[in-house]
Amino acid sequence: MGIMLVLMLVLVCGQSVIAAVPDPTSLHQARKTLVVLGAGATEKTHSGLLASLRTRSDGHGGTMEVVKSKEAAAKSFHFRKWDRWSYDSLVLLAPDLTHLGGEKLAGVVNDFVLSGRSVMLTGSDEMSSEVRDLAKLLGVSFHESFVDGGSKNTRVLDFFQNDGGHAEQILATGYADDAGAILSDAAKKKPLLWSGVGSSLGDDNPLAAGAVRAHSTSFCPTRKGFMSKKKGMGRFVGAQISLVSVVQARNNARAVVTGSIDMLSDASRRPETSNAAVCEDLTDWVLGYKSLLRQRDFSHALVEGQGVPGQTQEVYRIKDKLRVTTRVEEWSAAKQAWLPFGREDLQVEFTMLDPHLRKTFSKDLQGTYVADVTAPDVYGVFKFVVDYNRVGYSYIHFEEQVPIRPYRHDEYERFIVAAYPYYASIFSTMGAFFLFGLSVLYTK
């Protein structure tokens, strides 16, 4: 089972599914990775990457299997058997691959991702249309040229930021501002040597992000080496071009999509480039060795108000003071354990239609997130929402429904000062009526 799937939290009705699914830690250790190599001598050109993958896989208690594309495409290769997946993650270093285990590549890998498993997809200017389709299903569309007759795959060019004057050998520095969730700061210090087919991400796709984007001088020639002036061609120009895309599905399955298999090669791993570090970070991320979060132990309790302080109630009253606590843990591949999450930008919202309040958690010494909130002066069916949505990290979305009730009829304040004139008027009227009655009845 994919570990990401386990982290998926049920959004509805405030019930966490964690209890219902086996402990992710045990699943994590049984991690099986499949690496598919291209038709050429990929084994040799990418030996550095393979070695690094192997080391980490062994070190983190997983297994890794490397197959050639021809072998992997055959029907005899069991990638999916009787609807069970033989692997937990997939690294495709074969841009020409069209089939996997006898099934069409795009379809089978799409199902693989939907089941919560992760994939690293690499393209090149010789990639098959299946790879292209698969990228599209993941939300990344590789550039296609409109050149008649020629290859559909057109490389990204940059005449200013390149390596040794070769416009196709781009030196990219447009690293995403992901606060280290995917790319470490060390990797971002040097440029990335990149050569291949660019891609664009939809504007309205919240799941995909460009881990490395092109420089503003980069472009993809769509018409015989030049840009077309047509409208809507913006995605072929500048920072709109995503060189390395990261996708995290809503079930926390991860995918890395890049149009450059060369970026991963031994030839690119030079001291003046960051390729080695970037490749290591990307594979760490996609294989779930980093930035993997889980949330647990959400609770709320009364601090001050109607009821016993410190007790969790099903219903609170308006203006009660409440304490919300939760724990968020990050998977440490090195220690093979869940450790408290370090960042402090986790927020809780108290929502009824709209958030009525939003508060940043503070952390206590045990790494538990704590927030004290005051229920708003509005009754209704509220829900606590913890929604942590940062590029690179697993999504945390948790809701718990908590109705807020109005005052009972006997909980309002009695004998308020402002009402004394009214009390006085009532009692004086009663007294006057009594005297009046006496005078009417007993005087003649």
Partner 1 sequence: MAGGKGKSSSGGRDHPVRAEPQHGSSKTSNQEKAQVTGNESQSGIASTIETVSLVLIAAVAFAIRLFSIVKYESVIHEFDPYFNYRVTQLASEKGVDAFWNFFDDRTWYPLGRVVGGTIYPGLTLTATWIHWFLKAALKLHPVEVKDVCVMIGPLFSSFTAISTYLMVRQIKGRGAGLLAASFVATIPSYISRSVAGSYDNESVAIFALTNTFYLYLKSIDTGSMFWGVAASLSYFYMVSSWGGYTFIINLIPIHALALLIIDKFNWKLYTGYSMFIVNGTVLAMVLPVIGFNAVETSEHFSGFFVLALMNGVALVKYLKRTLTREAYKKAFRLFVTTSVAVMGVVSLAVITFAMTSPTLRWSGRSLSLLDPTYASKYIPIIASVSEHQAPSWSSFVNDLRLAIILMASGIVSCFRPLTAGSLFLVIWGVLSVYFSAVMVRLMLVLAPAACCLAGIAMSDLLEVLCRSYHLAQPKPEDAGRKEDGQARRRGRRRNSGSSQQRGTIPRPLALLGISGAIFALSYHLFHCSFLGGEGYSSPSIILQSRTRDGGVYIFDDYREGYSWLRENTDYDAKVASWWDYGYQTTAMADRTVLVDNNTWNNTHIATVGRAMASPEESAWKQFRALDVDYVFVIFGGLVGYSSDDINKFLWMVRIGGGVYGDIKERDYIGEGYYRIDEKASPVMLNTLMYKLSYYRFAETVGRDGQDRVRNTKFGNPDVKLTYFREAFTSKHWMIRIYEVLEEPLLEQAH
First to last CA, the chain: 101
CB of 181 to partner 1, least distance (A): 20
**Which of 27, 114, 301, 357 touches partner 1 (CB under 8 A)?**
114
Residues forming a β-bridge with 363: 369
Is residue 383 within the footprint of partner 1 (CB under 8 A)?
yes
Binding flags for partner 1, 139-158, as an x/- string (CB under 8 A): xxx-----------------
User: Per CB under 8 A, does 414 bind partner 1?
Assistant: no
Q: For partner 1, which stretch binds (CB under 8 A), given 53-61, 143-151, 290-298, 379-387? A: 379-387
Q: Looking at beta carbons only, is 73 or 375 nearer to partner 1?
A: 375
Nearest one of 19, 25, 17, 36 to 1, comparing CA atoms? 25
- Does position 27 interact with partner 1 (CB under 8 A)? The reply is no
Spatial distance between the Cα atoms of 178 and 20, rounded to a whole number of angstroms = 32
Q: Which of 353, 365, 418, 441 binds partner 1 (CB under 8 A)?
A: 353
Q: Give bridge partners of residue 400 from the DSSP assignment.
A: 384
- 401 near partner 1 (CB under 8 A): yes
Q: Specify whether the CB–CB gap between 122 and 134 falls below 8 A.
A: no
- Helix, strand or coil, per DSSP, at residue 20: helix
- What is the pattern of x (binds partner 1, CB under 8 A) and - over residues 241-280? ------x-xxx-x---------------------------
Helix (H, G, I), strand (E, B) or coil at 298: strand
Exposed e or buried b for every residue in 380-394, given b needs 16+ CB within 10 A? eebbbbbbbebbbbb
Q: Is 202 in the site for partner 1 (CB under 8 A)?
A: yes
DSSP 136: H
| Alpha helices, DSSP H, located in 92-143 | 105-114, 129-138
Question: Which lies closer to partner 1 via its Cβ, residue 64 or residue 385?
Answer: 385
Separation CA 211–CA 245 (nearest Å): 5
Using rule CB under 8 A, residue 233 touches partner 1:
no
Q: Which of 301, 299, 303 is nearest to 313 (CA)?
A: 301
**Residue in this structure with the two tokens 């609807």, named with its chain if needed:** 83
**Six token digits for residue 184:** 């470490």
Q: Which residues of 24-53 are buried (b: 16+ CB within 10 A; e: fewer)?
A: beebbeebebbbbbbeeebeebbebbbebb
Distance CA 194, CA 162 (A): 9
Phi then psi for residue 37, to 5 deg, are -100, 150
| Nearest distance from C-beta of residue 355 to partner 1, angstroms | 12
Q: How far is the CB of 253 from partner 1 (least distance, A)?
A: 7
CA distances from 178 to 74, 119, 175, 248 (A): 39, 20, 8, 14
CB closer to partner 1 out of 111 and 168: 111
> Quick check: 21 binds partner 1 (CB under 8 A)?
no
Size of the site for partner 1 (CB under 8 A): 42
From candidates 97, 105, 113, 264, binder to partner 1 by CB under 8 A: 113
Residue from the set 84, 229, 335, 408 that interacts with partner 1 by CB under 8 A: 408
Q: Does 138 bind partner 1 (CB under 8 A)?
A: yes
| Beta carbon nearer to partner 1, 361 or 395 | 395
Q: Does 406 bind partner 1 (CB under 8 A)?
A: yes
Region from 61-69, 160-168, 197-205, 268-276 binding partner 1, contact rule CB under 8 A: 197-205
Closer Cβ to partner 1, 50 or 127, answer by number: 127
User: Any contact of residue 66 with partner 1 (CB under 8 A)?
Assistant: no
- Give the residue, chosen from 1, 67, 179, 352, that forms a contact with partner 1 under the rule CB under 8 A: 352
Cβ proximity to partner 1, 14 vs 340, nearer residue: 14
107 binds partner 1 (CB under 8 A): no
Contact indicator for 120, 88 with CB cutoff of 8 Å: no
Please tell me whether residue 87 binds partner 1 under the rule CB under 8 A: no
The rounded distance, in Å, linking the Cα atoms of 111 and 122 is 18
- Tokens of residue 273, six digits: 């480039």
Chain residues 157-196 in contact with partner 1, contact rule CB under 8 A? none
Binding site for partner 1 (CB under 8 A): 11-15, 110, 113-114, 135-141, 200-202, 204-208, 247, 249-251, 253, 315, 352-353, 379-383, 401, 403, 405-406, 408-409
